[in-house]
Copies of this chain bind each other. A is one copy, B any other.
């Protein structure tokens, strides 16, 4: 199997998510990282390239230059990973998509809804593919949960609950913390907790339930003095078909690391899942004892097993789920049909619309607002 050639924008020294994308791209052996604009400062960009084994002639300080140069090479990159602050996702993705280079972009898709819609137009006129790394959708038991909903195992869905609790922003972060710096700058991030992790929760709720929200009311709050974005978001949702839901995203909930949980209750059963122990899916049928389904175990189904690498009881984690998105992107880029599990431009717009709606509702007395196209 030939490896695909991968570029990266962002992810230089001191960054976090870039390293995650690189491991994810390597794990299944489908990509080689061969080019990058790892930073906008040339010196830092080239130092990072050297560290990462990228040849100097494919180390760029400007993503526009990189898109053009790589498109012009016969051995140019097949795809680019975008791992910059949110407000840059749109223009960078557009630059590569315009060159028909596929994009694997971190979430949220953009910092504003206008940017999202603009990117959607670009994507629709490109022959390349756009992938959004809502990585939690790569967990095997999330795939199974989605399949169970589709198969009617839960009956009609009544309630969807998705919470994402962290505590790393419980106090004002050090100035040196680059992760915190841009994430708490509204112009770069677009939103606070609601954008950074609320979009994950919303995406996961939609992915597993197969439903989109039609309206919501929200209360966004900021608990740390001087913070310019929300660090705690409460959202009530109405979904298509009458089910309702709730999302709570917080970055000041001391004692929580990446405590993303999903529960879906239907007329016939329920599922519960927690990201911090993702190899377990609780499934309860009406009037029966809860079953503990394990990844790789007796109750795991095809949807889970096809994205499982090792036997039950040997935990797979965050990087494996992330790698599954890279593997599936590789499949699509090499010509396979996208799986129904692919997260792309439309889900990206949905996520930013969710943020936008939460902000509108919250600034308007938590009134109900509509999520319209």
Interface residues of A (CB under 8 A from B): 1-3, 16, 19-20, 22-23, 26-29, 51, 53, 158-159, 161, 166, 168, 170-171, 217, 219, 221, 223, 232, 234, 236, 244, 246, 248, 250, 252-259, 263, 265-270, 272, 275-279, 282-294, 296-299, 309-320, 365-368
The listed residue (B22, B258, B284, B291) touching A290 by CB distance below 8 A is B291
Residues from chain B with Cβ under 8 Å of A310 in the complex = 20, 318-319
Residue of B nearest to A300 (CB): B289
Q: Interface centre among A248, A269, A311, A365, by most B CB within 10 Å?
A: A311
The answer to whether A316 touches B313 (Cβ under 8 A) is no
Known contacts A22-B29, A252-B158, A290-B291; is A257 also within 8 Å of B296 by CB? Answer: yes
Residue of B nearest to A25 (CB): B29
Known contacts A232-B159, A313-B276, A316-B318; is A254 also within 8 Å of B265 by CB? Answer: yes
Residue of B nearest to A19 (CB): B309
Known contacts A219-B236, A255-B290, A290-B255; is A276 also within 8 Å of B315 by CB? Answer: yes
Q: Give 12 CB contacts A-B under 8 Å.
A: A23-B27, A23-B309, A27-B27, A161-B248, A170-B286, A252-B265, A254-B266, A254-B286, A256-B313, A258-B312, A316-B318, A319-B319
Residues from chain B with Cβ under 8 Å of A289 in the complex = 283, 291-294, 297-299
Residues from chain B with Cβ under 8 Å of A366 in the complex = 217, 236, 366, 368
A50 to chain B, nearest CB (A): 9
When chains A and B are docked, how far (Å) is the Cα of A28 from the Cα of B311? 22
When chains A and B are docked, how far (Å) is the Cα of A318 from the Cα of B313? 9
The answer to whether A313 touches B257 (Cβ under 8 A) is yes
The answer to whether B294 touches A292 (Cβ under 8 A) is no
When chains A and B are docked, how far (Å) is the Cα of A23 from the Cα of B275? 22
When chains A and B are docked, how far (Å) is the Cα of A256 from the Cα of B252? 27
Residues from chain B with Cβ under 8 Å of A257 in the complex = 294, 296-297, 311-314
Q: Interface centre among A2, A28, A258, A294, by most B CB within 10 Å?
A: A258
The answer to whether B223 touches A158 (Cβ under 8 A) is yes
Residues from chain B with Cβ under 8 Å of A311 in the complex = 16, 168, 257-258
When chains A and B are docked, how far (Å) is the Cα of A366 from the Cα of B366? 9
Q: Interface centre among A3, A250, A256, by most B CB within 10 Å?
A: A256
Residues from chain B with Cβ under 8 Å of A320 in the complex = 317, 319
The answer to whether A166 touches B318 (Cβ under 8 A) is no
Residue of B nearest to A139 (CB): B315
When chains A and B are docked, how far (Å) is the Cα of A365 from the Cα of B28? 49
The listed residue (B171, B246, B275) touching A286 by CB distance below 8 A is B171
The answer to whether B159 touches A258 (Cβ under 8 A) is no
When chains A and B are docked, how far (Å) is the Cα of A166 from the Cα of B4? 39
When chains A and B are docked, how far (Å) is the Cα of A170 from the Cα of B276? 29
